[in-house]
A and B are shown apart, each in its own frame.
Chain A
Amino acid sequence: MAATIGRLALAAVALNQDEYRGILGALGRAPNELELGMLGALWSEHCSYKTSKSLLRQLPTEGPYVLQGPGENAGAVDIGDGLAVVFKIESHNHPSAIEPYQGAATGVGGILRDVFAMGARPIAILNALRFGPLEGGRNRHLFQGVVAGIGGYGNCFGCPTVGGEVYFDSGYDDNPIVNAMCVGLVAHQRLRHAKADRTGDVVLLVGADTGRDGIHGATFASVEMDERSASRRPAVQVGNPFLEKLLCEACLQLNELDGVTAIQDLGAAGLTSAASELAHRGGRGIDIDVDRVSRRELGMSAYEVMLSESQERMLVVVRPEAETAARQIFDHFELHADRVGNITSTGRIRIRDAGAVAADLPLKTLVDGVPLRSPAAAFGDKPPSPVLPSIEEPEAVLLDLIARPNLRSRRPIYRTYDHQVQDNTVIGPGFDAALLRVPGTHKALALTTDGNPWYVALDPYEGTKAAVAEAARNITCTGARPIAVTNCLNFGNPERPWVFGQLQESVRGLADACRAFDLPVVSGNVSLYNETSERNIPPTPVIGMVGLLDDLSARCPAGFQEDGDLVFLLGETHEELAGSEYLRMLGARVEGRPPMVSLEMERRLQAGLLDSIGRGVLRCAHDVAEGGLLIALAESALFGGRGLRCPSIVGHVSREAFYFGESQGRVIVSVAPRRVPELQKLMAHHHVPLYAIGVVGGEDFQVGSDIRVPLDTLRAAWETPF
């Protein structure tokens, strides 16, 4: 048995010597080249979560309505009427940094497959994007390519892109964050699990032919491979949304068929990962004959076939007697299906190539055997808050602030996405949360993605709590009740102690906040090693959240609705400016203590908000987020096309903090004058502070003697193009 192996051979599959020794121990022999490649792929950070797994165990994943938690293609939650919502968020950061259009497009493609593999029809796509400032380097190229790729894929596939968020910060120079979330609907009895638990079942590989594209990144980066064949191998896969649509319709029809055991998407680590996970979940084994895999080019090795990440492929496991019926469905959609193997009772994956066994590995070792890593963690000091400059001209500040790339209208982006197809979009992109009708019911789903990277950079624990709280607040503002969470943790290189410290604190914040709101985390993804030239991205946890509105007619808009309505601020404002867009505009360093989240206060606020929306007391509700109170008020004015008159408003904090601070747990609402007593009573009941702001109406946005700006001027600033 070879006790040692060359450093380069291990680097080629991104494993270390300890891990290699683990393999020798488990196999009792040295793995051959194909086996090592398969182990490297499944033991990679991306597939195995070896660095984050022990942290992720803190997350609450169960609840009375959870039908499927983490560990499947996507999570699923019961929404009543015999229906389940299926959803997940995933990153495609690295491919998007190399080839933004295809990187983002295939990110959308991958997450769509995760959802329809569960038997659900995709009904919505969301995203979370981060780029460096558009003036710098390749950032504009990356931004335009990513936005075009998201639209290109989703628009052609026919699933609406209904929401998302985008922020710009120099921390993301040349290292963009591209997270895509997909939401689907399925009847309970049609919810499918990717679990091959019947020996003798037939394994079909359906969809695109297998090519040399996207051979696993870790393997691809090997010196030898580069010298030999880099020119033949595009580093990023190319998407075909048209083929994906055929695959989706076929899988949804297949899902109605008796005798279909499992459907599994081919994503990272391609056939290796899909085949092993399917069989391992079912407690079975699997035989794959690579000769049976249709290929795009001649001369592909078993290694290349097993590790190809060609897009738009699915593994379908059926009873032998159901194969003909399954093939009829594929034929109808003119899809190609290869019978590539069988489910066995061996607990092993066996790969045959040209009649001989080319690999033979125990699934337990391959799927679950990776030793978990627990790198050292370091925690940064929290410097004191910066000295605050005072505002001299609030009106000029407001107009400059609302024109900033992080705050201006996102319409130039989302109008390039089809956000209406399928005829369910009640509230589209651009507001607190999207609201989609659940066809055939009076219900609606509220959907959002959130994550302010600056708060997390200042304090990963508080910042991640804030991301969960804000997502829940955004959902609540529509009148919907948050029901479950998916998350994408985008961090730098975890081998650097401060990065691992960020991850550790962030997951703790995520766990605490989700517990406080009683929200199960049903799916998610971790993207580490977002490091370019030793520069790590700001820690970027992204929260995807789904809410349920039982009665669509009780929904609440974000814009002012009627002249004469009274506007109130709910929640408490503190002297908090650190991490704010206002300070960044003034060129201040991002330092100090970010806005703190009182989970108790936040719960009361959201309960009060839901109560008052449910009773029809509110005319509008809008979250106070980046940019602070005046930006939130300006947005509600612009959404509704109505001005606002405020008398001089001051809190018990500085004018700067009151106008532009980003204290959490705050919402602005408008209410008809005759219903004000009800609102006061409800807020008193929920112990939520209420602060009178002003009156809706007029052509101007007016705040005391500080600001009086025509709505058109405000709109022109807000609509500054990218």
Chain B
Amino acid sequence: MRTGIVVFPGTWSDRDCAHAVGEILGEPVRYVDHRERDLHDLDLVILPGGFSYGDYLRCGALARFTPVMEAVSDFANRGGLVLGICNGFQILQEARLLPGALLRNSSCEFRCEWVHLRVEQSDSAFTLDSRPGQVLRIPISHGEGNFFADAHTLESLERDGRVVFRYCAPDGRVTAAANPNGSLRNIAGISNPRGNVVGMMPHPERACEVLLGGDDGLAVFRSAVHALARVPV
């Protein structure tokens, strides 16, 4: 799985993602500068976490205008796999590759902690290795992760099975107490209709080693490997 990790000036999960995919999974990885336009050599593009341009304005609002985001759009439209993590999810929304918006956390605070995610559907490229209802333990680390969409969008997301992850209790129940940021319907991750583009607030690259607290995040990256093996793109 030839993986490109996009680096905006304020990205900081780039090296963590490279560690997870490159060192732990052993897949070839290269960094993609925000000024690059050519992604033809890649199977998977990761938009990692961070503060792309400081995000003093709306998160990701500037990043969407970069040359690389044009290329990412083309790449996604051609069926390439795209995973937006945290700030990457915010950028995918700003770039209109995914619907909805991520508002300030309802606590009005940044939150860094382990949460539980229920896998809602296993058709996306990043949940192929999981079964629906499976619970993954993965950390969040964000100030703006409160998923919002209008009622119509929300209904179509639900109807089309595009809600990929929901915040849940350890036993899988979707409860208000398990919602760390006020997201509508506990939504933690969604996909595009084709399932090749997924955005998620939690950081799977931080959950790839038992030493660091757990390795449930590996399922996300392994799924991509299997998706590529199954459906050549």
Contact = CB atoms under 8 A, between A and B. Distances in A.
A416 B16 contact: no
Contacts of B27: none
Interface string B197-212: 0000001011001011
Nearest to A154: B110
Contacts of A240: 54
B15 interface: yes
A417 B112 contact: yes
B212 A423 contact: yes
Contacts of B113: 415
A151 B107 CA distance: 15
A420 B12 contact: no
Contacts of B209: 423
Nearest to A147: B109
Given A416-B112, A552-B211, A158 B12 contact: yes
Max chain B Cβ within 10 angstroms of own Cβ: one of A334, A416, A417, A419: A416
Given A242-B56, A437-B211, A421 B141 contact: yes
A240 B206 CA distance: 26
Contacts of B223: none
A569 to B, nearest CB: 29
Interface in B71-108: none
Contact of B51 (A156, A334, A419, A424): A156
Given A155-B110, A416-B111, A423-B206, A242 B54 contact: yes
Interface in A399-452: 414-426, 437
A242 B19 CA distance: 23
Contact of B112 (A148, A333, A420, A552): A420
A437 B23 CA distance: 15
Interface string B39-56: 000000000011101111
Nearest to A246: B9
Given A241-B54, A415-B113, A423-B212, A156 B13 contact: no
A245 interface: yes
Contacts of B49: 421
A86 to B, nearest CB: 19
B54 A421 contact: no
A242 B12 CA distance: 11
B195 interface: no
A245 B54 CA distance: 9
A343 B141 CA distance: 45
B112 A415 contact: yes
Nearest to A332: B33
B28 interface: no
A111 B113 CA distance: 25
Interface in A331-370: 333-334
Interface of B: 9-10, 12-13, 15-16, 19-20, 49-51, 53-56, 109-113, 139, 141, 143, 203, 205-206, 209, 211-212
Q: Please give me the 5 A-B residue pairs with the lowest Cβ-Cβ distance, nearest first.
A: A158-B12, A242-B54, A423-B16, A156-B51, A418-B141
24 contacts: A148-B109, A152-B110, A155-B51, A155-B112, A155-B143, A158-B10, A158-B12, A242-B9, A242-B53, A242-B55, A243-B54, A416-B109, A416-B110, A416-B111, A417-B110, A418-B112, A418-B141, A419-B112, A420-B139, A421-B16, A422-B15, A423-B212, A424-B212, A426-B212
Given A242-B10, A245-B51, 5 more contacts: A155-B141, A157-B12, A241-B54, A242-B55, A417-B110
